[in-house]
A and B are shown apart, each in its own frame.
Chain A
């Protein structure tokens, strides 16, 4: 009985800790994804008509760019409703 209560309290505090850590990191995660999006956009800008760096740079880095490309596509998908995106980011329901 006591050990199960002890386990429950431990789990409660662990979850409490994780939730708060997750909350604290959430904004930085968004910032990081935005930066990755900008990086991909600058490098592969020719897709969207942005003046792009020397083409060979994009080709050279392409093999490592899978994550950045996914974020770029996700952003392109979401950009039709930027207001909702922003509300979600700053926590307005």
Chain B
């Protein structure tokens, strides 16, 4: 299974490009396209009403819009359950429902989105391609960075935990006993609950991180032939490089013949930033403006052809 993330500045045509690519891929493969953008317009492009459940568009093309609010709710419900289980005794005096305030925690969208992506990848194994249409730059970089950030934190915590266990072992060898009046303290890595849990969590996030950095995953960067778009794309390319995420294709979208010089300039600047990545050019569709084109996902260029040739 291959996974593609369409990224780029707001309004460059990520959704249209991802929709057109998914449509073209579905001639040969089974494809699922998922919109992660809270301001969904995947449904508008395909002319159908979508929800968080899979919608069958053709036999080989399925569409889905992720409901960010629902994802956040599910994510927090899981976290709240851990807390409620820990403080189960509060149920006897009816105080356990106070944890429900957690649903107003700030900064959880990224985690919820990441969990959503992870679940989609793990549960939709029978597709050949999963295409993700992502929200604009800022949020996308933040949630794609999360597995790496989390693993870094866990690594530091594991190191400190190992130091603690090392000290405990020294004390055990000098004194022979190791307790804090109530419980016997563990000094072996295999007996320490915290270290065991940390290692398990690290394993999970490393799996996800290596999946995102692996051969079967790829970032497609969409941009327009203008200076603003070029500047933001530069930042994105730097961000992907820092996170070791594989950039597979650049799409210069909305090229008009009269501004061809600008398009060439932007393309050469982009090529200098990512020399090994192929560029696909997509012409600006005049028919979009005269209102005659009702199928927005029909684009004459075979968008992912440079990838297939590779």
Residues of A within 8 A of B (CB): 21-22, 24-25, 28-29, 31-32, 35-36, 38-39, 42-43, 53-57, 59-65, 67
- Interfacial chain B residues near A59, Cβ < 8 Å: 79, 82-83
B193 located at the interface, meaning its Cβ lies under 8 Å from any Cβ of chain A in the complex: yes
- Interfacial chain A residues near B296, Cβ < 8 Å: none
Residue of chain B at shortest CB distance from A62 = B86
Instruction: Give CA–CA (A43, B161) in the complex, Å.
Output: 12
- Interfacial chain A residues near B163, Cβ < 8 Å: 35
Partner of B79, one of A22, A39, A56, A63: A56
Q: How far in angstroms is the closest Cβ of chain A from B199?
A: 12
Q: How far in angstroms is the closest Cβ of chain A from B54?
A: 27
A24-B174, A53-B153, A64-B197 are known; give 13 further A-B pairs, CB within 8 A: A28-B167, A32-B164, A35-B163, A39-B161, A42-B157, A54-B146, A54-B153, A55-B105, A56-B111, A59-B79, A62-B82, A63-B85, A67-B180
Are the CB atoms of A54 and B111 closer together than 8 Å? Answer: yes
- Interfacial chain B residues near A39, Cβ < 8 Å: 157, 160-161, 164
- Interfacial chain A residues near B153, Cβ < 8 Å: 53-54, 57
Q: How far in angstroms is the closest Cβ of chain A from B163?
A: 6
Interface size on B, residues (CB 8 A): 35
Are the CB atoms of A25 and B160 closer together than 8 Å? Answer: no
Are the CB atoms of B157 and A57 closer together than 8 Å? Answer: yes
B121 located at the interface, meaning its Cβ lies under 8 Å from any Cβ of chain A in the complex: no
Q: How far in angstroms is the closest Cβ of chain B from A17?
A: 10
- Interfacial chain A residues near B174, Cβ < 8 Å: 21, 24-25, 28
Instruction: Give CA–CA (A57, B79) in the complex, Å.
Output: 10
Instruction: Give CA–CA (A25, B160) in the complex, Å.
Output: 20
Partner of A67, one of B82, B154, B171, B183: B183
From 193 to 229 in chain B, residues with beta carbon under 8 angstroms from any chain A beta carbon are: 193-194, 197-198, 201
Partner of B168, one of A32, A53, A54, A55: A32
Are the CB atoms of B83 and A62 closer together than 8 Å? Answer: yes
Residue of chain B at shortest CB distance from A24 = B174
CB-defined A-B contacts under 8 Å, sample of 30: A21-B175, A22-B175, A25-B170, A25-B175, A28-B167, A28-B174, A32-B167, A32-B168, A32-B171, A35-B163, A35-B167, A36-B164, A38-B160, A39-B164, A42-B156, A42-B160, A43-B157, A53-B150, A54-B149, A55-B107, A55-B108, A59-B83, A61-B194, A61-B197, A61-B198, A63-B82, A64-B193, A64-B197, A65-B194, A67-B180
